[in-house]
Structure 1
Amino acid sequence: MTDPAPAGVRLVATDLDGTLLRTDGTLSPRTVTALADARAAGLDVVFVTGRPLRWAAQVFDHVGGHGLAIAANGALLWDVGADRARLVRALDPAAALEVGQRIRAAVPGTMLAVETVDGFGLEPDYLPGHPLTQDARRGAFEELVDAPVLKLLVRREGVVADDYAAEVVAATDGLATVTWSSSGSLLELSAPGVTKASTLELLCVELGIDRDAVVAFGDMPNDLAMLRWVGTSYAMANAHPAVLDAADRVAPTNDEDGVAQVIEQILAGDVGDVEDDGLVPSQG
């Protein structure tokens, strides 16, 4: 027998990649149904992702026509129904420029790119992890930073993020929030204090929802602040070790529709006997 699902949940906050989405990037029919059932039951469903707006929008249909989504690791709160930004928490251009210059000086071999509300720009030698859209800009970093920066992206080929994150944190000296959401070399920098957690907190205050009534799901270090802030946190079974250690509980993997399984349990009101379904307390 495992712990029952949390009672009194009013809001479900879920990461996308490695969490809600399957490894092939799709939402399973079971997950689509669980999200719709949660909304029908009166729960707020909020996607909280590191993805920029241009990628997050691909799954906005499933957050509901009047739903909200937090993108770019908390730098953007997007009103899906109105198709507009509700809150932007960006690095101003001068600050982004200083942060980038500090990183290049202190951490040799790094390449930089920027995400803004309007699109993506990257240095000539930056190797993107995904195919570029036609409106992506290539140019010198100093030329790319001509608007508020939602995320400053840093790549250092031949290593993984865990290997050099501390160097970048030291170089930025509190001028940016440093995190990562993939197993590769990519680091993601936001304005100071901007995380998934801090923007989710602002939203919950606006909605009048206490943190104890929020359940959240994640799998990578950029989810850590959110998982530590909410009332009940789930790491996916496929999560980064730091996430597994920090979360209250462990849900089945993203390919096993772990988020859907927990939502189904919440909606069923399982607060007593629970079958052994893989939802286990974290060892962290």
Structure 2
Amino acid sequence: MAPVSKPRLVATDLDGTLVRSDGSVSDYTRDVLLEVERRGVPVVFVTGRPLRWAEEVFGYVGEHGLAIVSNGGLVWDVERSAPHLVRPIDQAVALETCRLIREAVPGSAFAVETVTGIGLEPGFMERFPPPPDSHRGALEELFDAPAVKLLARHEELAPQEYWDAAEAAVGDRVTITWSSSSTLLEISAADVTKASTLALLCADLGVDAADVIAFGDMPNDLPMLGWAGTSYAMADAHPTVTATADHVAPGHDDDGVARVLAGVFGL
């Protein structure tokens, strides 16, 4: 499938896609994104990152409007610095999901992402230090606000092995995916994905799926890449992503998103 000549919306993942391995966004990429915005085409970040990490890169497209974070669990209004749409996991469903996963895979530990922060079980081993005011406690205590993402970690299994076991245990109660290099499952409410939330946002903006160009690199991007009219996997993407996407872009360390957009928009 040939890329659309003039997309009406750009949807891009962050880590492994837009953001370089060192956590930076190049001046070239920033300039391209800003020029696309100046031409009236929204650039929407669609990320698994929680809000506190996504905010670090909002400035790369200015006060550009809306960002989809936590794999679709939250749409954030960047200009207003307020939620635009929250798609939380029902607490009872989340607790049952944790119980079923822990029974199927002993050694599982959980954390809960909310709009305001993260709560963690004592046994949940973070790879990056959580905010100093993060609460650690029993699972039932962590749902003090609507949960936009549930995290499940295992220290011994491989990511795919853990994902398969968890999905077999919980069925369609929730949506499970992963995007980390470690064994960390990212769990959303049933049918909440990057794609379903992006579809809601595009409907509000009057943009059809056929007019969206999307970029990603990991399994949590698969629904979005399958939904968008034109999709690109990064050169170093997970094999399942490369198999799903229409095209392959240069790698994230080579400004792949920006280079494709420069060609599409004739920059």
CA–CA separation in structure 2 for the residues paired with 1:109 and 1:260: 42
Provide Cα deviations, 1:201-239, integer angstroms capped at 9, x if missing partner. Answer: 001111001111100000000000000000000000010
CA–CA separation in structure 2 for the residues paired with 1:113 and 1:63: 30
CA contact (8 A) 1:46 1:63 kept: no
Aligned to 1:262: 260
Secondary structure in structure 1 of the residue aligned to 2:93: helix
1:178 counterpart (176, 179, 194): 176
* Matching of residue 194 in structure 1 with residue 192 in structure 2: yes
Aligned to 1:120: 118
> What is the CA distance between 1:4 and its match in structure 2?
6.5
Aligned to 1:220: 218
CA contact (8 A) 1:160 1:186 kept: no
The 4+ residue runs of structure 1 with deviation greater than 3 A are: none
**Which range is displaced more, 236-245 or 124-133?**
124-133
Aligned to 1:281: none
Q: How many matched pairs?
A: 267
CA contact (8 A) 1:19 1:259 kept: yes
CA contact (8 A) 1:159 1:184 kept: no
Aligned to 1:13: 11
2:33 counterpart (32, 35, 46): 35
CA contact (8 A) 2:225 2:232 kept: yes
> What is the CA distance between 1:156 and its match in structure 2?
0.7
Secondary structure in structure 1 of the residue aligned to 2:214: strand
CA–CA separation in structure 2 for the residues paired with 1:91 and 1:205: 22
Listed as ranges, the matches of 1:138-157 within 5 Å are 138-157=136-155
Secondary structure in structure 2 of the residue aligned to 1:150: strand
> What is the CA distance between 1:8 and its match in structure 2?
2.5
- The RMSD of aligned alpha carbons is 1.3
**Which range is displaced more, 240-249 or 99-108?**
99-108
Aligned to 2:134: 136
Aligned to 1:248: 246
* Matching of residue 69 in structure 1 with residue 67 in structure 2: yes
CA contact (8 A) 2:234 2:249 kept: yes
CA–CA separation in structure 2 for the residues paired with 1:147 and 1:255: 37
Give the residue type in structure 2 aligned to 1:143.
E
TM-score (norm 1): 0.91
Percent of matched pairs sharing the same residue: 55
Q: Mark the runs of 5 or more structure 2 residues left unpaired by the alignment.
A: none
Q: Mark the runs of 5 or more structure 1 residues left unpaired by the alignment.
A: 270-284
Aligned to 2:105: 107
> What is the CA distance between 1:67 and its match in structure 2?
1.5
**Which range is displaced more, 121-130 or 247-256?**
121-130
